[in-house]
Amino acid sequence: MDFITDPEAVPKREELKAMSIACDAVLTFARRHAELAEQMALAEKNPQRKAELDQIAATCRWVPENAPRTFREALQMYWFMHLGTITELNGWDAMNPGHLDRYLYPFFKKDCDDGILTRELARELLECFWIKFNNQPAPPKVGVTAQESGTYNDFTNINIGGIMPDGTDGVNELSYLMLEVVDSIHLLQPQSNIQLSRKNPDKFLKAACEVIRQGYGYPSVFNADGVVEQMVRVGKNIQDAREGGNSGCVETGAFGKEAYVLTGYLNTPKIFELALNNGVDARTGKQVGPQTGDPKSFQSFEDVYTAFEKQLKVVVDIKMAGNLFIEKMYATEMPAVFLSVLIDDCIKKGKDYNAGGARYNTSYIQCVGIGTITDSLSAIKTHVFEQDTISLPQLMDALKADFAGQEALRLKLWNKTPRYGNDDDAADDLMKRVFNSLYAAIDGRPNLRGGEYHVDMLPTTCHIYFGLVLCATPDGRKAKQPVSEGISPVQGADRHGPTAVIASAAKMDQLRTGGTLLNMKFLPGTLRGQEGIDKLAQLIRSYFRLDGHHMQFNVVDAETLREAQRNPEQHRDLIVRVAGYSDYFCDLSKELQEEIIARTAQESF
């Protein structure tokens, strides 16, 4: 380190010293586990339990101070790394082991070959590992964050399958064993997904489908080939891209090499509402956006859309300006020194994870409600400017009244409008146009860490909160009702089956995003028998051939959910897919329960 010519030499030295201190702390943490296990072993009367405690002590004496030698040590090594990062970051979420089956397989195979591990013992150790995650508390939520995230977890998302760094099939025996673990203990944490490549065998996909139809909402399914393309598009080398995958809900990143940070959500239907009210928030009456024209003066659909794009640009500019302050605060006041040890190239650069130390530095803005804004645009285009059945001022009056006394109009808008999710270009072309506007407003803008902003299309649960602050919309949605989530169609608007849904969703250029979320719901009988598994597998393969990014499924009927609402104490173990994660249905807010019930339940393929 050249203190004469490098003006950053001093902060680099301090960062490296902090990293070293953090490593010493984790080593001390592990030794304390070893010491406690040794003390417990001395007092233990049961020989079997004493042997277990001795083994725990020996493992914690070895890792993480030394490289793991066995399957057991590798699991323990990761667990100490996980605890180190989440302790440092005070419960910061979305820390995950990445391609756990890939990383553990050499240890698994060697131990089995050496006769010190059986498949049954490996499964037991993995189940214990799963339980450890499930016992970790989710990060606390307060204020508006608690309102928009009414339910939450740690978003630990284990990737299973996919492709190897050399591009070959990444499925191995542990991939199947992990699916068995997911099925056998069906806990909320850790979440799991399969990375599905065209190079993976159908046997692997169908094994995952067997778990999906149990109704836990997981594993979710990602297009591994598309994920690699997304990363290569934004400048990652092919090997780093293949070693990456998805964490959190659906976010794409290069594992161990990238700081990819979510920086907030855009309520796109709310932005459109500003355009229809000359920048005034229809709920509060305050002028919060630019004056883009009184809708009474709009003479064409293009006038409407131009107003939306002007509002979008201003909102995104405000969001970016706020982000610069937050990024600076994290870079200077909130270092993550132990996490920086684990991420290439923080040590090499002498820079913190939060200050641009990682090899790649990405910021994402998550756009919410594309189904709702698409259908709203479609309603205006169809009924105001094409069929001329209602004027824009009359429609605006109906929206301000929340359709009071105008149920016939509301139902016409709801039922007689081309709607996204039905493979109807009249609606889907508008969806593509909105996506392109979002992309143009966000993608490629610089962040303070030397990287760029990109677009994600995911809601967590803020589509409920965003609906609560939104008045009635032109698609027939009433005030305070949820907006659409992810890139899923508006709840109940997709009426032509699951193949129409994927055909519509695939018209979005998802390879230009950092992740999209598509929820689908099936009645249990639809997936019954081998035929049901085969058809679900074919649906997934078809969507991914169209460059879809992600799919996840609820397999449950409305009556079961209604019964759980009436008698929650009898359905405490009912798990459903919420957004990019699963949760116990009875722990959800009433609003979120109703939104899940309202999703279209597919009865056939």
Q: How many residues does the chain have?
A: 605
Distance CA(152)–CA(459), nearest Å, equals 12
Distance CA(452)–CA(233), nearest Å, equals 12
The 3-state DSSP class for residue 250 equals: coil
Give the residue among 420, 435, 464 at the shortest CA–CA distance from 600.
Answer: 420
Instruction: Given the residues 209, 249, 462, 471, select the one marked as catalytic.
Output: 249
Tokens of 277: 């009210």
> 251 catalytic, yes or no?
yes
Tokens of 298: 């709009």
DSSP assignment of 267-326, as one string?
EHHHHHHHHTTTTB-TTT--B-S-----GGG--SHHHHHHHHHHHHHHHHHHHHHHHHHH
Three-class secondary structure assignment of 525-573: HHHCHHHHHHHHHHHHHHHHHCCCCEEEEEECCHHHHHHHHHCHHHCCC
Q: Which long-range contacts (CB under 8 A, 24 or more apart) does 4-13 make?
A: 8/350, 11/350, 12/349, 12/350, 12/351, 13/350
Instruction: Given the residues 15, 251, 258, 485, select the one marked as catalytic.
Output: 251
The Cα-based distances of 236 to 196, 258, 260, 458 in angstroms read 20, 10, 13, 23
> 249 catalytic, yes or no?
yes
Do residues 278 and 294 lie in contact, with contact meaning Cβ atoms separated by under 8 Å? yes
Active site residues: 249, 251
